[in-house]
Amino acid sequence: MTGMGTLAVTGAAGNIGSVVRRALRGEVARLVLLDRVPVRAETENEEVHVVDLRDADAVESALAGADRVLHLGGVPDEAPLPQLLEANVLGTHHVLEAARRTGIGRVVLASSNRVTGFYPAGHRTAPHEPVRPDGLYGVSKAAVEALGRLYADKFGLSVICLRIGSFEDAPTERRHLATWLSPRDTVGHVRAALTAPPSTRFATVYAVSGNTRRFWELPDPAVLDYSPVDDAERHAGGVPGADEPADPGSPQAGPYALPEFTLKHLRP
């Protein structure tokens, strides 16, 4: 099946990129893989590029001819703000600019649940609620979403932002019982976002498994037609502290919301 045409994936060497690559390469005519580290082509329809997302010309050259882009590249955790702005915000701008200039039909941006990490654990958060980032990384992803919205509204790009949960093979800590995103559900969310109707001009959704204890609303089928199939609760027996009562007033971000998590990236 090659219904998706040419798909480009930035951050293809990362954990999520590697899983999506294996799952979707049989569903596309051509798979263009971008990363700042070398990636080896494994099938005839794969094409690889070593690209620094800060290089706008290199990004546009690598993305030329793509029908869809899955943008996963960037700094994946808390870091000094200048580093996050350069890798995450400027890099996303270059991807969106390349899409605008070359006529790419759909851009899926990897956002994060960390854009709303300060909502309390007892609150079921919806994508339309104001952002409450739990750190500098969350701020950078809020900016990524804002760029996506701008390019959708101003230039007519079709952009879907996935607020990715805790991507793990299985949950290993108590917070994961709410935030876990399984590899299988990762592929499901990504596939649905890439193939959503062209009439979907802009959307932001939480990419999370169907966890009984989840903090976030699952996607509205009218916006993203995917229903998660995994639930972290099935793994609760092996998670330390799973039976301890949760504090509904504590931040959803858990330790990421602590001042110490960000202070080490600020000037003393």
Residues catalogued as catalytic: 137
CA–CA distance, 249 with 251 (Å, rounded to integer): 7
> 158: closest CA among 91, 226, 109?
109
CA–CA distance, 87 with 141 (Å, rounded to integer): 11
Which residues, 6 or more positions from 6, have their beta carbon under 8 angstroms from its beta carbon?
Answer: 28, 29, 30, 31, 32, 65, 66, 67, 68
> 215: closest CA among 187, 184, 246?
246
Name the one residue in this structure whose structure tokens are 């590697």: 18
Q: What is the CA radius of gyration of the chain?
A: 18
Cβ atoms within 10 Å of 54's Cβ, excluding its own: 13
Are 178 and 121 in contact by the 8 Å Cβ rule? The answer is: yes
Name the one residue in this structure whose structure tokens are 């498994």: 209
Q: Is 56 helix (H, G, I), strand (E, B) or coil?
A: helix
CA–CA distance, 232 with 208 (Å, rounded to integer): 10
